[in-house]
Amino acid sequence: MQSHVHRPSALRSRLSGRAGRRAFTLLELLLATAVGAIVLLVVNATFFGALRLHNATHERIGDDLAMQRALGIVRKDLAGIMLPANPQATTNNFSGQLSTETSSTNDLDNNSERISPDIYTNSGRIDGWTPFADVQMVSYYLTAAADGRPAKDLVRVLTRNLIPAAEPTTENQTLLTGVNAAGMSYFDGENWQDTWDSTTTLSLPTAIKFSVVLAPRAGATARNDPVPVELIVPVLLKTSTTLQQEAAAETALQ
């Protein structure tokens, strides 16, 4: 009967051979570390790039929604514009003249910039219960931003209860923030005018254009400066003077 005796030298060589087959060299460890670092850098750049794109997209959607809401209110005011009151009438306070030369007490403060005349409109309250039928006087202003930013706020000032026996109520509504410039122009049928005075023309413009320029975003380059957003609303109402002028023009063509 033979006994199996393992010699120490043979056992050590066998163990060292197994260990040598399982171990990594220093070069392999360095290569694995470098590859792992590159993979982490790629994942990091992809993740944070996607996160920045996500945040920028949500900010742009929020800005677009705010702009669409403001333009919707302006469109409603301009579409509901009323005929100018008779200058000789002293008892009708439901409507007034569309004039950039004069203004009412629909004022904010001395530091605010008025960008529209007093607009008498039947756009009604902006709520879910009385969407139409309320006659009100509306004016638009650019005022200093409430949060102290260099950009301005677009503010809608409206006066309700225009009946002489009632006490008028005035309300200020901030429609849009982060505005650089805004204004209105008036189409006379041939050209756009910066001013309008219905007391002298005895008519309304055929269309009114509202334009607004938003302040550029932080870090935006000159190439990415916002372009003006313009809203053109046709004025379908015609005064008796306008109707007489159109009738005379038709007669002259016949």
Per-residue pLDDT of the chain (254 residues; tens, 9 = 90+): 455 555 556 555 555 555 555 667 888 888 888 888 888 888 888 888 888 888 888 878 888 898 999 999 999 999 889 888 766 655 555 678 888 887 666 666 777 889 999 998 887 665 555 544 578 888 999 998 887 788 899 999 888 766 665 667 788 889 999 899 999 999 998 999 999 999 888 889 999 999 999 988 765 554 456 788 999 999 988 888 888 888 888 888 77
Do 95 and 84 meet the contact criterion of CB atoms below 8 Å apart? yes
Q: How far apart are CA 224 and CA 241, in angstroms?
A: 46
Quote the pLDDT of residue 18.
Answer: 52
Sign of CA dihedral 161, 162, 166, 169: positive
The DSSP secondary-structure symbol of 51 reads: H
């670092």: which residue's tokens? 37
Q: How far apart are CA 134 and CA 152, in angstroms?
A: 29
Closest by Cα among 118, 93, 94, 109 to 198:
118
Quote the pLDDT of residue 205.
Answer: 93
Q: How far apart are CA 191 and CA 194, in angstroms?
A: 10
Domain ranges of the chain: 57-253
The DSSP secondary-structure symbol of 82 reads: -
